[in-house]
């Protein structure tokens, strides 16, 4: 098992980053070195190729190919708000940043975005937004639901800022336009991969809450506009009618050996 131990993975994130930097130190070359007194927090690891970033204005030296989340943790912060799934699904780690010499505000998920030299960043712990309260059974899958629940949609000025700020690369403005037309299916399709990080609604000059509109549309589509499965209702009823009771009873009373024989002999689709 010694060999196994040698390839074991999963050192804590920082240690892995150190290793990477040992490997790639000669390829980095763009680091703009600040003097020691200019860096607020400096780590004592000589082999690494580090760059300077500013976490809420405070300078830290961090590995140059870290994600923003990795860099924040490398800096010694314990994230409480601002990390969730850490793989790009949950939207907990919305982050805004600027790069040196660039007037633009950039957006990204901290778990997915790599640091850059001179990046000045802040995580957005929460985006206030009022979710409409509704009974899905009483809504209609058309523009009326949008009008009643999220009338701010009609304030859209088609500036496209939402789309530009989406870290998932979704056509956010297009789905807001579809919502205005009551095209629930299009909203569902275009907002399907939304992770609800909230960056679009933070940037929107019309104060629309885009992700919430997307969730409503997806629910309306699933509830009302789906094509019903012909066999699902039949199967649900068969279970309720106890069609499988006898077979369950047989399987559950089988010895482990008999069950194993049955298992390995089963055919496969």
Partner 1 sequence: MYPDYMAESLRKVAQTRPKRLELARKSEPVYPPMNAEERRAVLEGFHPDYEASARRPVRVGPNRDESLTTEVSDLLESHSWLRSDQVTLDKPDFETDLLIIGGGGAGCNAALVAMKEHGIHSIIATKLRMGDANTMMSQGGMQAAVSRTDSPTRHYLDAIGGGHFENKPELVRALTEDGPGVVKWLEDLGVVWDKQQDGSLKTMHGGGTSRKRMLSCRDYTGAMIMRTLMDEVRNHPDMITVKEFMPAVELIMDDKGRCAGAVLYDMESEEFFTVRAKSTLIATGGYGRLHIRGYDTTNHYGATGDGLVMAYRAGAKLMYMDSVQYHPTGVSFPEQIAGFLVTEAIRGAGGQPLNKEGDLFVFPREPRDIEASAIIRECVQNGGGVPTPSGRVGVWLDSPLIDMLHGEGYTEKHFPAMYRQFIRYGIDITKLPMLIYPSLHYQNGGIEINERCETDIPGLYVAGEATGGLHGRNRLMGNSVLDYNVFGRRAGRYAGEYAKTVKLGKLSLAHLDAYEKELADAGVKTDLVTPVLLPSYAPKDVKKRQLLRGGNTLPGSSVLQNRLFDERPGA
- Residues of this chain, 41-100, that bind partner 1 according to CB under 8 A: 43-45, 65-67, 70, 73-81, 83-90, 92
105 vs 233, beta carbon nearer partner 1: 233
**Distance between CA atoms of residues 90 and 116, nearest Å:** 24
Q: Interhelix angle for 184-191 vs 172-181, to 10°? A: 160
Determine the Cα–Cα distance for residues 177 and 234; give it in Å rounded to an integer: 39
* Smaller CB separation from partner 1, 77 or 98: 77
- Cα→Cα distances 52→14, 31, 64, 243, Å: 16, 8, 8, 66
Contact call for residues 166 and 172 (beta carbons, < 8 A) = yes
Instruction: Pick between residue 101 and residue 232 the one whose CB is nearest to partner 1.
Output: 232
Contacts of 242 (CB under 8 A, 6+ apart): none
Give the range of 94-102, 148-156, 199-207, 216-224 binding partner 1 by CB under 8 A.
216-224
- Interface pick for partner 1 out of 25, 147, 163, 168 (rule CB under 8 A): 168
State CA 167 to chain mean position distance: 9
Q: How many positions of this chain bind partner 1 (CB under 8 A)?
A: 93
What would the x/- binding string for partner 1 be over residues 98 to 137, using CB under 8 A?
--------------x-x----------------x-xxxx-
User: Residues 186-205: x/- map of binding to partner 1 (CB under 8 A)?
Assistant: --x---xx-xx---------
| Least distance in angstroms from the C-beta of 102 to partner 1 | 20
Question: 13, 28, 127, 129: which one contacts partner 1 (CB under 8 A)?
Answer: 13
Query: Which runs of E-coded beta strand occur in the chain?
Result: 50-55, 58-63, 94-98, 106-109, 120-123
Q: Which is nearer to partner 1, 41 or 157 (CB)?
A: 41
């Amino acid at each position: 098992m010694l060999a196994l131990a040698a390839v074991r993975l999963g050192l804590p994130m920082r240690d892995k980053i150190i290793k990477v930097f040992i490997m790639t130190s000669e390829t980095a070359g763009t680091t703009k070195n600040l003097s020691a007194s200019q860096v607020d927090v400096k780590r004592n690891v000589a082999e690494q190729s580090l760059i300077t970033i500013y976490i809420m204005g405070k300078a830290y030296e961090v590995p140059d190919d870290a994600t923003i989340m990795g860099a924040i943790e490398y800096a010694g912060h314990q994230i409480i708000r601002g990390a969730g799934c850490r793989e790009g699904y949950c939207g907990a780690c919305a982050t805004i940043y600027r790069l040196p010499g660039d007037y633009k505000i950039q957006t990204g998920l901290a778990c997915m975005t790599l640091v850059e030299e001179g990046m000045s960043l802040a995580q957005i712990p929460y985006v206030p937004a009022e979710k409409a309260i509704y009974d899905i059974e009483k809504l209609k899958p058309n523009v009326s639901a949008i009008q009643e629940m999220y009338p701010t949609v009609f304030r859209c000025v088609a500036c496209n800022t939402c789309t530009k700020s989406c870290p998932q690369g979704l056509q956010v403005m297009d789905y807001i336009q579809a919502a205005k037309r009551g095209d629930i299916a299009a909203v569902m399709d275009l907002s399907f991969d939304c992770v609800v990080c909230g960056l679009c609604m933070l940037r929107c000059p019309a104060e629309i809450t885009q992700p919430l509109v997307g969730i409503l549309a997806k629910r309306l589509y699933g509830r009302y506009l789906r094509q019903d499965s012909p066999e699902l209702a039949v199967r649900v009823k068969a279970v309720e009618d106890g069609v499988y009771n006898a077979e369950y009873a047989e399987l559950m009373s089988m010895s482990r050996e008999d069950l194993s024989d049955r298992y390995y002999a089963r055919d496969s689709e």
